[in-house]
Amino acid sequence: TECMDEILAILNNVKPGQDYAHDEDLIGHKILDSLNIITLVFELEQAFGISITTVDVTPENFKYAAAIQALVERKENE
Report mean pLDDT in 10-residue bins for the chain, 78 residues: 93 94 90 95 98 96 96 96
Distance from first CA to last CA of the chain, Å, rounded? 20
The C-alpha atoms of residue 52 and residue 29 are separated, in whole angstroms, by 23
Q: What pLDDT, on a 0 to 100 scale, did the predictor assign at position 44? A: 98
Opening angle at CA 25, ends 46 and 42, nearest 5: 15
pLDDT number for residue 77: 94
Q: Quick one: which of 22, 6, 2 has its CA closest to 14?
A: 6
Q: Output the pTM of the full model.
A: 0.93
Gap between the Cα atoms of 49 and 27, Å rounded: 24
- What pLDDT does 1 receive? 72
